[in-house]
A and B are shown apart, each in its own frame.
Chain A
Amino acid sequence: MIPEGRFQFLGVRGGAISLIERAMSTPAVELHDLRKTFAARVRRGPGLRARVADLFVPRSHQVCAVDGVSLRIERGERVAFIGPNGAGKSTTLKILAGILYPDSGTVLVDGLVPWRDRHALGFRIGTVFGQRSQLWYQLPPRATFELLAHVYELPRATRKQTLDTLIAAFALEPLLDRPVRQLSLGERMRCEVAASLLHAPGLLFLDEPTIGLDVSAKATIRELLRDQSRTAGTTLLLTSHDTGDIEQVCDRVVIIHRGTILLDAPVDEVKRRYLRQRRVTMVTAAERFDATQLDGARVVATAPHRLTVEVDAADAAIGSLVAAVVAHTELRDLIVDDPPLDDVIRNLYASASSSRGTVEQRDAISSR
């Protein structure tokens, strides 16, 4: 029996069932007007006098990393949090994980205030930082897994079963007893993600989880993350510069620039709304085809029996295009590609740049 008064602050009226329902309806992440600034040291310049002055009377200026971010993420959602370098995405992630304190704003992660309830939150979230490691470098991954099983207080009875499930899912058996320093980056990242999932967190924060990985390792990590989210209902919040991570893992994309949210929409919608061009590849019976006959199409590539053009998807131009081609030659195959997300994001950054000033490191968005 749950004493009613104890849970009044949650608005619980009807006992345990209502409490569970309430808990289930609590969003995984709720941010409101989050702000965070850092003090950055400013040097007076070269020379001994300036150095001495910097030492005794340091000057600094405030850098606004997060400027009024509001966001709500439901349980089980897979959200990509993207932006150019210095946009504020990693800072936001670190505030959500309870690592950093915000200057102002409200933050609830699984109903907890991260920096205040850091200990309790530790049991509910997992973190993967692509450029950091939680594995003991000199020891095999098994040693870290065993340590984390104690840290997260996994019951002895279920510890082995949990570990075995992860080992099977992430194909870790051959890696378990090799020192971490002997593992490839891809193998290490599989171990890092598995280590973060050991305590079955409801939320997983991932900061550039595929950075530096080869194509095959990236695909493996993405597949594992997507499967984990689908099967266990794990909420994913992922930052990345790699659009492949966003397209292949996430359903929703939040674009942040200079500490504010530029866009928050489903991934598919972003592609449709922000890049009106479709790329159409046609395989024709004719070896060469005169593309000047196609109105509104821009030729991207030509090859024998193959022509790739871009058309405006909004004008139902694909139908006209196909009609124009079949009027002259047999059309053997037709491939319509969605616009590359790279281009969408680059366009968004560019428009933000023109309205707010230059976008630093716009080209940080990597090609797939």
Chain B
Amino acid sequence: MPRPFKYLAFVRIGFARARAEPAEHYARVLFLLVILGVFSSLWRAVAATGADVGGDPHTFVWYLAMTEWVLMSAPHVHFRIEDDVRRGDVAYQIVRPVSYLAAHFAEGVGALVARAPVLLAGACTGAWVFGGAPARPLAVGRAIAFGCGAALVLTSYNVLLGLTAFWLGDIAPVYWIWQKLTFVLGGLLLPLTLYPDLVVRIARLTPFSAILAGPASFVLGRPFFDGQTLGLALIAWAVAAALIAVTTFHSIARRLQINGG
């Protein structure tokens, strides 16, 4: 069997594992609906005062639905890696004739395939209920297409984030910083076009803007990147994540210490 096809088995097991925990999907959908409900009320309330919110509050709900969908679809591979390191299960995985990183990524892809459609259905339903029908249905289609790619790239960065467990043991501090950067520089809650110029320029230099604002901003009618640039940016950030992960793991493997006896 050619080696790359091995990883399809990891995709399958990631899919099966995610399907074995349906309650987690439903909880995520519920959380997404609550977020959409709260923020749509907030924007409507601000718009009702006559203040300029920088766009149509209904369209913002679709924007938020898309950013949250991408963010919540990407599986938390980093916590799986942290568990491996903490419990020492990495000892089992590292001796297998497969790449530890690719196996985790493939397992994450399987979880993503199981999770993304459920969350997308929840996001679109919530956006429709709280924001009305999309003003640009085709743009929603583009956002979904690029969003799938963005969720894959985010999964690769989650693998990278998980590798910090080999140094720190507990990834919580790094994850906390990473999460906040994603929220701010990715334009999770507000379109990046509403941010000060300096922040926008910084955001363009990070993967966060391509991962969240990039696909979601299509629904605003003022995309943060045009389609071609976004596609190239996602590919470039994915390649960067892969290179950093492989180099880092090579170094980790040399100084690996397994927890426990």
Contacts and interface: CB of A to CB of B under 8 A. Distances in A.
Nearest to B14: A136
B98 A151 contact: yes
Contact of A85 (B20, B87, B254, B261): B261
Interface string B180-224: 000000000000000000000000000000000000000000000
A146 interface: yes
Given A133-B89, A139-B13, A179-B20, A99 B98 contact: no
Interface in B1-42: 1, 5-6, 8-10, 12-13, 16-17, 20-21
A99 B21 contact: no
A129 interface: yes
Contacts of B94: 98-99, 118
Nearest to A122: B97
A119 B16 contact: no
Interface string A320-339: 00000000000000000000
B21 A138 contact: yes
A131 B17 contact: no
Contacts of A94: 91, 258
Given A129-B91, A134-B92, A99 B258 contact: yes
Contact of A139 (B5, B10, B20, B257): B20
Contacts of A143: 13, 16
Given A94-B91, A131-B88, A143-B16, A100 B21 contact: no
Contact size class for A? 35 or more
Interface in B205-261: 253-258, 260-261
Nearest to A118: B95
B87 A139 contact: no
A348 B105 CA distance: 48
A115 to B, nearest CB: 8
A10 B158 CA distance: 44
A130 to B, nearest CB: 10
Nearest to B13: A147
B180 to A, nearest CB: 22
A7 interface: no
Contacts of A129: 88, 91-92
A133 B1 CA distance: 26
Contacts of A132: 87-89, 91-92, 260
Contacts, number: 87
A226 B6 CA distance: 32
Contacts of B87: 132
B6 A153 contact: yes
A99 B254 contact: no
A123 B88 contact: no
Contacts of B5: 150
Contact of A153 (B1, B21, B260): B1
A364 to B, nearest CB: 10
A122 B88 contact: no
B1 A150 contact: yes
Point out which of A85, A127, A151 has the most chain B C-beta atoms below 10 A from its C-beta. A151
Contacts of A150: 1, 5-6, 8-9
A150 B1 CA distance: 8
Interface in A2-36: none
Contact of B261 (A131, A134, A152): A131
Nearest to B97: A122
Contacts of A151: 6, 9, 96-98
Contacts of A136: 13, 17
Interface string A149-179: 0111100000000000000000000000001
A86 to B, nearest CB: 8
Contacts of B89: 132-134
B256 A100 contact: yes
B95 A125 contact: yes
A90 B256 CA distance: 14
A150 B10 CA distance: 9
A147 B9 contact: yes
B256 A99 contact: yes
A308 B7 CA distance: 62
A90 B96 CA distance: 18
B257 A38 contact: yes
Contacts of B97: 119-120, 122-123, 151-153
Nearest to A100: B256
A222 B16 CA distance: 33
A153 B7 CA distance: 11
Given A131-B260, A150-B9, A208-B261, 19 more contacts: A99-B256, A118-B95, A121-B95, A122-B95, A122-B96, A127-B91, A132-B87, A132-B91, A138-B21, A139-B13, A143-B13, A144-B13, A147-B9, A151-B6, A151-B9, A151-B98, A152-B97, A153-B1, A153-B6
Interface of A: 38, 85, 90, 94, 97-101, 118-123, 125, 127, 129, 131-134, 136, 138-139, 143-144, 146-147, 150-153, 179, 207-208
Interface of B: 1, 5-6, 8-10, 12-13, 16-17, 20-21, 87-89, 91-98, 253-258, 260-261
Instruction: Please list the 10 inter-chain residue pairs (A to B) with the smallest Cβ-Cβ separation, ordered nearest first.
Output: A122-B97, A150-B9, A134-B92, A138-B20, A90-B261, A147-B9, A132-B89, A119-B97, A97-B95, A147-B13
24 contacts: A38-B257, A85-B261, A97-B95, A98-B95, A99-B258, A100-B256, A101-B256, A118-B94, A122-B95, A122-B97, A122-B98, A127-B91, A127-B95, A131-B88, A132-B88, A132-B89, A134-B92, A139-B13, A139-B20, A147-B10, A151-B6, A152-B97, A207-B261, A208-B261
